[in-house]
Chains A and B, each alone.
Chain A
Amino acid sequence: MKHLSRLAFSDRRVFMLLVLTSVLIGATIIGQSYFFVAIVDRIFLGEGRFQDILPLLAGLLLVLAGRTLFTWLNGRTGIKLASKAKLYFRQSIIDKYARNPVQASLQGQSGRKVSVLMDSVDEIDGYFSSYIPQMIQTMIIPLMILVVVFTQHLYSGLIMIITAPFIPLFMAIIGVMTKKKSEEQMEKLNTFSGKFLDTLQGLTTLKLFGRSKQQKEEIESSSLGFRDATMEVLKVAFVSSLMLEFISMLSIGLIALEIAIRLVVYESVSFFTAFFILILAPEFYLTLKDFGSAFHTGRGATGASNLLAEELEKEEQHIQWGSGKLEGKQPPEIKLDQMSFHYEEGFAMEELTATIHSYNQVAIVGKSGAGKSTLLHLLAGLTKPSSGTIKVNDRSLFDYEEKEWFSQVSYISQHPYLFSGTIAENIAIGGRGNHSKEEIQEAAEKAGIAELIASLEKGYDTPVGEAGRGLSGGEKQRLALARTFLKKPSVILFDEPTTGLDLKTERVLQASMEKLAKTATIITVAHRLHTIKKADQILLLDRGYLIGKGTHEELLETVKEYRDMVTVQQGGNSA
């Protein structure tokens, strides 16, 4: 919340505009009341002619137009303020996400992040467009009215001063009372409201067991339960506005009574004063009540605002790249020197030391949770080691220019991501800028997907939206390979798929890797025995520790865990 108010008042010009328009609204409210009263007074008691009040009518029209105009201006300023705030938050969040490389390894959180970027930012709109302007109005307009009333009639002013604090007071009391009650109801509400979705999701199962008809009563009873629980919460809110209504009503009644008695019994006030005050009093309480509803809108933004602040304040792992150039024609030599990595959730990788020579084929092996993917991310330069270094050609990886490094690297994941666009665009994204159609086709050819593309009506221009809907896992895998063939990198990081690939893709993968190995170093998180067997070096991981390093034969000889793993695998499948 503090975050938001600081932002709201940061622009002095906007703030002054809000104050100015509020003052003008206050003035037009008073002016409007004055003219109405003056006209009635002149005609009713003064028994003036119609011509006499024409200037007053003109003045009234002007004031009414002014009130509309200033209210509009005030509202527009609020809307602009809201747009500016949303723009600021959305940009900051996007920039924040872009800077944080850990993001890359935490794919699971993407859904939540989209919702922060979309919904949370939208939710703060009300705070700026209605709460802030209304708050400023509430600070100014009642005060102006009060001053005018005091100049007209002291006692009415006093009644207003005494009764006004009851409105925020009651609001606060009721707020506290409702909070507990609505929290009690919240749990009930969640169960009830989830029931409909739950039933819909289970409909297939229900139908297969012939039970779908019976669910109607369940839906009805839970919907009605939802209604009753909601009404409990709402009733309290309604009672709260009922009380506010009573307070303002009673106060206005009190003022009216007091004026009437003075008017009739003591004859100490004029009709003009009395009517004037009577018209101003409701405006006074109305502004206070309006603040009540705006306050709720403001409160509604609290959750979203906290979420945004939390997201922005999260510690980030910014990677600082240098400006070094990668020299030499052959793939770089990569060294891991006492590299450790810790992540908040307790996962740790301890003191890894290894050397990967040019054109080496390295297999990373280990149980799930051993840290295989994390190691791949570290090697890619997507994540920064907590201590120790990754050396590329004997210089720290992060001494190089970011672009220089990534232009040498390809990363083929188990589930390659396809962007919305055509197939050609999706292949070209792997490359370095402008590629001719022929180059793209050649890459597709090498990746064994050209035939499939040719069979499609639109060929290379076929759109593949939403993460490649309509393509099978194997086809996506081959498309990712085409990207790599186009890029011709010198380091390839490959997260080998476990199961579910079609034969064609299996064959293509194996052949492609052999081809690519001629020009690049390949580091694979390996699941296939043949990949492991032909590796120049195997890195065996266990819960973040490197427990074995060497070729297949060497590890079979020396590392018991490796021997066990291979035996279990062969035993498990031949059964």
Chain B
Amino acid sequence: MKELKEVIRLVVLEKRDIVLSIVFGFLAGMSAVGLFGASGYLISRAALIPPLYALTVLIAFLKLFGFARALGRYAERYFSHRATFTILSNLRLAFYKKLEPHAPRIFQKYRSGDLLSRIVGDVESLQNFFLRVYYPPVVLVIIFLGTVVFASIFSISIAIVLLLGLVVTGLLIPAWYTVKQRKLASRVREARGELSTEAAEWLYGFRDLKIYQQLEDKKEMLHQSSDDYIRESERDSRQMLSSHSWNTFATLLVSWIVTGLGAFLVAEGDLNGLFLAMLVMISLTVFENAAPMAVLPSHLDDSKRASKRLFSIVEEENRGTETYNLDGKLAPSMQVCDVSYRFPDEEREALTGVTLSIPAGSKTAIVGASGSGKSTLLQLFMKFQIPSMGELMVNGKNITEISEESIWENSNVVLQENHYFYGNIRENLQLAGEDLSDEEMKLVLEEVGLEFDLDQPVFEKGENLSGGERQRLSIARAFLKGKRLWLLDEPTSSVDALTERMIFNHLYERASQDTVVLISHRLSGLEKMDQIIVMAEGEVAEAGSYDELMQKQGHFYEMKQIEKNIFST
């Protein structure tokens, strides 16, 4: 249960709705028991032909129980679902609070793209915890206790039989199947995972498979995994069914014992025969409430897994003491000394023994093939990652001692993938500062060559903007922020050459005294840079000014020759 500690803490926050759900669940369950018990009693009573008024009262009771049951069920559902969704909201919030401090680092660390949707899915699946795991047993136990107490008025032994029935159907059988379920569920998941991987591979690699004439073989394998998955999930369903069947049989058996025992007691004269029908009806009804226990094991298992996964994401290593803040007034300098970095789940190093120096106020371009480590280097500058080996100094201090917030606050960053929020252009620009005037915003839009109205809508993730427009909007945001460190990762890769040149002219104007680090996808237009760093396979292949590198006729020169050769279509 320790995986669920945090979840339980969040669940019990919603005291009012929980209590109401339990109260109404109890009311509905008890009314059903009352309804059927009363009808059994009514019939027995009628058989003995009592005065009519006694019957009238009973029938009135019957109606009352009937309505109470229906309304109770309605209210129970209403409050339990409301609680569930409020809990979902609490979960999201709590998780966001936990995740937020570690944010960009964690996303970079787990480079898999589905991390976020997995988080959302896990949080969502935890909403079932309250609805299917937490409160049904509580309601069940209370109803049973009420019924047992009521039954004990008439016969202690029948009350005991009911209590034993609760233990078997509410505890023993679910517990037994919880254990069995765990093994089976993991096998179903495995089989599903395998099929889905193979299906994806088969479809994405379709063309290659076709040409290598492997399509038929792989198709057979796909059929095979499909069969496996179906077989495993059939086994899972059958197990659910048998859990359900045993549970039903146990409840029916309890009713049978109650009937036999009741009959015996009546025959022996220990129980008034008038109550026999009532007790039989009660025992048949009260177990209706045990039905949710059949699905509890699988939901418990799911919740545990989701919770474990969620909270393990944010368990973090100690990141040392951050004693300094980056001074925003000065253009910073950076020294990289023999730095290596490897992503946690990868075998090869992304950066190996990188040494370079970026003086305050200098303009540096980083170039290289895709996968050469350019973006990783930038991530180290932003303190999204800490070097595995070597030292990264900012203004002469080790970056581990500088607070990451102060680095972010004092840099203008444009990443390859930037986020845009649902709203309008103004709101997306105001991210750079609440009190920006319309004039300032219009000016930067002009500088990046966007003819946008500030009130123009922006859809989720900027879906209504083209790739180039989105990039330019990000640059505009960076312009507005106006700090002294610029970290730009291929900011204009989707912008045409002419506009690019115009944007860079404005950039150098604005950043004339600032430190600029630019990852460039093009080799042209780098003539004015103070230095160009050429990355290859995680190492610095060359560094120097444009003229120096061209004269040297080395790596950069060769790249330049190839670029000249390529048609950009």
Contact = CB atoms under 8 A, between A and B. Distances in A.
Contact of A368 (B88, B264, B569): B569
Given A118-B199, A407-B213, A503-B555, A196 B123 contact: yes
Interface string A93-112: 01101100101110100100
Contacts of A275: 40, 43-44, 277
Given A467-B204, A503-B555, A234 B263 contact: no
A226 B568 contact: no
A453 to B, nearest CB: 12
Contacts of A230: 81, 85
A249 B66 contact: yes
Given A44-B44, A253-B66, 11 more contacts: A39-B259, A43-B273, A57-B260, A95-B219, A98-B219, A110-B204, A205-B431, A250-B66, A264-B55, A472-B370, A503-B559
Contacts, number: 402
Interface in A238-293: 238-239, 241-242, 245-246, 249-250, 252-253, 256-257, 259-260, 263-265, 267, 271, 274-275, 278-279, 282
B256 A57 contact: yes
A498 B237 CA distance: 51
A324 B103 CA distance: 61
Interface stretch (B45-53, B173-181, B297-305, B445-453): B45-53
Interface in A440-464: 456-457, 462
Q: Which 10 A-B pairs have the closest CB atoms?
A: A472-B371, A223-B89, A227-B85, A502-B369, A202-B419, A271-B47, A44-B273, A205-B419, A245-B70, A500-B370
A348 B558 CA distance: 39
Contact of A264 (B49, B419, B563): B49
Contacts of A40: 44, 259, 263, 276-277, 280
Nearest to A275: B43
Interface stretch (B1-9, B114-122, B135-143, B543-551): B114-122
Contacts of B355: none
Interface residues of A, number: 156
B77 interface: yes
Q: B interface, how many residues as a size bin?
A: 35 or more
A76 interface: yes
Contacts of A467: 201, 204-205
18 contacts: A43-B262, A48-B267, A50-B263, A94-B219, A98-B219, A117-B199, A118-B196, A201-B116, A201-B419, A208-B104, A209-B431, A211-B431, A219-B92, A256-B43, A263-B47, A275-B40, A367-B569, A457-B347
Interface of B (DSSP majority class): helix
A51 to B, nearest CB: 9
Interface string A220-243: 100110110011001100110110
Contacts of B530: none
Given A114-B199, A114-B203, A208-B408, A565 B567 contact: yes
A104 B208 CA distance: 9
Interface string A56-89: 0100110011011001100110011011001100
Interface of B: 36, 39-40, 42-44, 46-47, 49-50, 52, 55, 59, 62-63, 66-67, 69-71, 73-74, 77-78, 81-82, 85-86, 88-89, 92-93, 96-97, 99-100, 103-104, 107, 116-117, 119-120, 123, 192, 195-197, 199-201, 203-208, 210-216, 219, 222-223, 226-227, 230-231, 233-234, 237-238, 241-242, 244-245, 248-249, 252-253, 255-256, 259-260, 262-264, 266-268, 273-274, 276-277, 280-281, 284, 346-348, 368-372, 405, 408-409, 411, 413, 415, 418-422, 431-432, 460-461, 477, 481, 497, 521, 524, 536-537, 555, 558-559, 562-569
A198 B192 CA distance: 28
B139 to A, nearest CB: 17
Contacts of A456: 347-348
Contacts of A90: 226, 230
B205 A409 contact: no
A572 interface: yes
A301 B420 CA distance: 36
